[in-house]
Structure 1
Amino acid sequence: MTATGNAIIFDVEVQFGSQSFLLLVDTGSSDTWVVKTDFQCVNSTDNSDLPQESCLFGPTYDVPTDMEYVKNQTFGVQYGTGIAVGKVGFEDITIGGITVPKQKIGIVDRSTDKGDGINSGILGLGYPPLTSAHYGSTLDNSTLLLNRAVYDPTFVSMYKKGLVDSWYSLAIERLPQNVSTGPGGWLGLGELPPVAHSNDWAVAPIEVTKGLPDLYTGGVDQITLMTLTVDGIAWGSRSTKASRTTNSTSFQAVADSGNPMNMVPQEVADEINAEFKPPAVYNEEAGVYVVDCNAETPALGIEIDGHTFWHQSADMIIRDENTGFCYSSVNGPASGLGVTIQFLGDAFLKNVVSVFDFGKDEMRFATRTGGKNGTTGGKGNGSGSGSGSDDETPVPSSASALGTGLGSIASLVLLTLAIAAIL
C-alpha cells in the first residue's frame, strides 16, 4: 500500500479485468467501486456539474463493450465525504495476484465523493450488510439506505471461494514529518504482514453495533460494522506514569481504516485534548481540535482485552498538507438521529498489527515492536494461511501501490464512515 495526504489515506492496487487502479482501503465500508471514464463530478452543495478534475480521482475505468450489468439494480453509497452512484456490474477483480471472477462491483457515473489525487475509488473490506446495491433502475439521495440488494463483497467472495483464509490483516505506516506520500504498509489476504510485532494478541469479538436504525440493519440483529468493545482509555503525561488518568468505562467503537482519527466519548476527547501543551482547542467550523503543530502530546493508550495499546507521539497530531494547519487525532464521536458511534481510526491502527477474521467474527491486535523486520521469502501473493496465533510467523504482504495527496481539515473529519448517511 501507499500512504497519501500525510498518511491519512491508504491506497492499494486493484485490477479490474486488465485495468489496474489504486483504491482506498476501507474496513468501514463493503463495496468495491471505481469511477468510469465519463463520470460526472457533482457539487455536493447544489448538485451542479463540475469538471472531472474537481473530484481529484486518478485514472478512470474504461467500461468494456461486453460489460455484464446486474439487471434491475443500481449502485449508490454515501460516505462522510460525499455520494457515489452508478450501475452494478460483474468484473474479474484481482488483488495481490488473487482473482475473484465475476465479482459484483459499483461502476460510478456520478460522484460528489473525492479521491486523493491518484486513487479511483474504494476497496471496502466490511461485511455484506453494508453493501450498497439497490433494487430498481433509479436512485436518489434520499434512498441510499433503502431497498438494498445485499451481496458478498470482494474479500468475502475470496474466502468463500477458498482462495484465501477467512481473515485479512493490516499494518499501516506513518510517514516522516512534512512527507505527504510514501510507503503505506501492507494488506495481507490470509497472511500476516512482514513487520515486527508482539506475539501477545488481544482478541475482540466483532459485535452487533448498538442503536443502528432498522433501515440500516433490516430490523435484524446482525454484524454490520467492524465493531468491538473498548475496555477503557488511559492518557496523561508521557514522562510521568503516575500522573496518568484512566477511564475504565467501556464503549463500542468501529475499527475503520478509512478514518484518520480516533473518535471517542466526548468527555474523554475533551480531557485528552486539554493535555496537549499548549492545549488543543475545538474549532466548530472544522469540527476538530486545532493544535500547535509542535505541541507536546499526551500519552494515549486504548485498552482492549486486557491489553493497552499506546500511541506514538507522531500519531497524535495530523497535519493538513494544503493549509499547513494541525489538529488532534482524537475527536468526539459521530452522532445523529439518536445514534452515537465511536471509532478507532488510523491513529490507532498505525500502532498495531490488526487482523479482521470473518470466520471467527473477531478482530485481533498485536503491538508493533519496531520497524520493518526485513522478512522476505514466502508466497508474496496474498494467498496462504494463518490465524494470528502466538506462534505465527509473519509472511510477505499481499499487495502494494503508489499514491499522493488530499484536501482540507474539515473534509477529513469523517473520511469514509459507512454510517455517515444516517448522521
Structure 2
Amino acid sequence: MADDPNVGPNDPEGVDKLRAELHQIEYIMQVGIGPETYYMIPDTGSSDTWIISEGFTCLDPYYGFEMNQEECGFGPLFKGEFPDGKIENQNLNISYLSGDYLNGQMGFANITVANVTVPKQQFSLVNVAAFGGDGVSSGILGLGLRGLTSAFTGNDPRNDGIDNLVNYSPLIETMGASMAADPILSFAMSRNENRSFIAFGGVPPVKTGEYTSVPIQKGITTGGRTDYFYYDVEIDSMSWSSSTVNQTATNLPKMVVDSGTTINLFPQSVAAAINAAYSPAGRREDSMIWSVPCDAVPPTLDIVIGGKAIRTHPSSMILPETAAEGSNQCLSGIGAGQEGSYILGDTFMQEIVAVFDVSEKMELKFAQRLD
C-alpha cells in the first residue's frame, strides 16, 4: 500500500470478503446479529441497519397488496426478539430510491462485522416489507451517517414525519464511540470475490497508488437543518474519451458515494454523452438506464476528485451478467439521476480503494488499485 500518513491506520481491526450477488448488481457480506450470522448488503447510501423478521408481511411495492413472504426475496429470517432489548414507542420507517420501503420495531444487539463487534447497536427487526430481494441476503447494513437515520417516535408509521423523527447513532458512529475500532470504513470492491474486501477501522491490505482526500459535504433538510446526511463529495470534473470523442464536463453537482447503488447516476446530459461514446453507442431504455451491446468498447472515464483523476475500470462500464438469455444487450454502468440524487455507485467503487473516515476528519479518500 502507498505510504500516505493522511489515510489513517494501514492495518484495520477487521477485514472480510465482499461477494457480488444477483447478476453482480449488488454486494453482500456476512454480519453477526447476536449469536446468528446473516448475509446483508453493506450500504453507504443509508444509515439504518435492519434485518427481516420471522412473520413479516410482504407487500407489493407498487400497489400495496399483501403477497406471500417468498415474493419479497429474502434470505433466512431473524427469529425471536431483540437480543439486547426493544426500544418502546419507536419505529423504523424507511424508503429507498428503488421504490422499496420497510417498517419495523427498533431495539439493540451486538453486531459483528469483519470480526469487529459493535456493542449494543440500534437496529430494526422489520415486520412490513415492500422489497425486491436477492434470495440470499436478509437485510441491509446501514453504513451512513447519523443525519440519515430513520427512526420515529410512536408505533404507527402513518403518523411519521419530520416532527417525530429521531436521529440515533448508526453503526459506524457507535463503532468509534465504543472504541471497538476507529470510525473508518473502507471498500476494495471487485467482481472477483478473491480480491473483493471490506475493512473496518482502517484500509484493506491491497496495493494502491497515491490517495486523494476530500471533505464530506453537509446537506440541508427541507426544514432548513444542516447536518451530515450522505457521503456527498464535490466533483472537480469528468472526462471521457474514445477513438472519436474527447469530452469534459465541469460545474458538476455534488455526488453521493453509495455502495448500495449498482451504477453511477449522473446528470442527464452527462450520462447521455458518455453512453453515446460507447462503440457501438448505448441505447436509452428509460429515464434512468441505458443498455449497450455486451461486447461494446466503453469510453475511458476519469472522474477528478480533490484534484486527482480516478479512472473507472473498463470492466465496470458494462454489466455482462444482466443480459437476458439470447440477448447481446447489457446494462450500461452509467445512468441518469435526478437533481439531489446523483450517485457514484459500484461502477465507480470497483477496482479502487474507497475510504470513509468518520473521525474528526470527516473525509473520503480514494486511490487506484495496483494489485
The TM-score normalised by the length of structure 1 is 0.78
1:167-186 alignment runs, 5 A limit: 167-175=184-192, 182-183=193-194, 185-186=196-197
Deviation at 1:56, TM superposition (A): 0.9
Runs of 4+ in 1 over 3 A off after TM superposition: 64-67, 142-146, 319-322
Paired residues for 1:236-315 under 5 Å = 236-237=241-242, 244-284=246-286, 287-315=288-316
Give SS of 2:164's match: coil
Task: Quote how far apart the aligned CAs of 1:49 are.
Answer: 1.1
Cα deviation for residue 23 of structure 1 reads 0.8
Q: Which runs of structure 2 are paired with 1:20-419 in the superposition (5 Å)?
A: 20-64=37-81, 68-81=85-98, 82-140=100-158, 143=160, 147-175=164-192, 182-183=193-194, 185-198=196-209, 200-209=210-219, 212-214=221-223, 219-237=224-242, 244-284=246-286, 287-319=288-320, 321=322, 323-324=324-325, 325-335=329-339, 340-359=340-359, 360-370=361-371
**Alpha-carbon distance in 2 for matches of 1:260, 1:145:** 29
Q: Which 5+ residue runs of structure 1 have no aligned equivalent?
A: 176-181, 371-423
When residues 67 and 307 of structure 1 are mapped into structure 2, their CA distance, relative to the original with a 3 A threshold, is closer
Is the Cα contact below 8 Å between 2:323 and 2:330 reproduced in 1?
A: no
**AA paired with 2:353?**
V
Task: Indicate the SS of the match to 1:230.
Answer: coil
Q: Give distance in 1, aligned partners of 2:179 and 2:234.
A: 30
Structure 1 residue 244: Cα displacement = 2.2
RMSD over aligned Cα atoms: 2.0
Secondary structure at the residue paired with 1:254? strand
* Alignment correspondent of 2:5: none
CA gap of 1:31–1:184, structure 2 versus 1, over 3 A, is farther
Identify the residue that residue 11 of structure 2 maps to in structure 1.
none
Structure 1 range deviating more: 153-162 or 315-324: 315-324
Please tell me whether the aligned partners of residues 309 and 351 of structure 1 are also in contact (alpha carbons under 8 angstroms). no
Instruction: Give the equivalent residue in structure 1 for 2:4.
Output: none
User: Against the structure 1 CA distance between its residues 334 and 183, is the aligned structure 2 distance closer, same or farther, given a 3 Å change threshold?
Assistant: farther
Which secondary structure does the structure 1 equivalent of 2:197 belong to?
strand
| In 2: Cα distance, 1:171 partner to 1:5 partner | 19
Rounded Cα–Cα distance in structure 1 between residues aligned with 2:197 and 2:162 = 32
| Contact 2:197–2:204, Cα closer than 8 Å, also in 1 | yes
SS in 2 for 1:195: coil
CA shift in 2, pair 1:283/1:322, >3 Å: closer
Deviations 1:73-101 (A, max 9, x none): 01111012301111001112111222222
One-letter identity of the residue aligned with 2:324: T
In 1, the alpha carbon distance for the partners of 2:211 and 2:169 equals: 28
Match of 1:10 in 2: 27
**Relative contact order, CA 8 A, sep 6+: which one is greater?**
1
Q: Does structure 2 retain, via aligned residues, the 8 Å contact 1:7–1:184?
A: no
Q: d(CA) in 2 for partners of 1:183 and 1:123?
A: 21
Could you tell me the TM-score, scaled by structure 2's length?
0.89
Give the Cα–Cα distance (whole angstroms) in 2 for the partners of residues 67 and 165 of structure 1. Answer: 23
Structure 2 unaligned residues grouped into runs of 5+: 1-17
* CA deviations over 1:180-208 (Å, ceiling 9, x no partner): xx55721111121122211x111110002
The alpha-carbon distance between structure 1 residues 312 and 322, as it changes in their structure 2 partners (threshold 3 A), is closer
CA distance in 2, matches of 1:66, 1:329: 40
2-structure distance, mates of 1:137, 1:334: 32
- Please say if residues 87 and 108 of structure 1, whose CA atoms lie closer than 8 Å, have aligned partners that are also in contact: yes
Q: Is the 2:300–2:314 Cα contact (8 Å) retained in structure 1?
A: yes
Question: Is 2:288–2:336's contact at 8 Å kept on the other side of the alignment?
Answer: no
2:173 partner SS: helix
**Match for 1:327: what amino acid?**
L
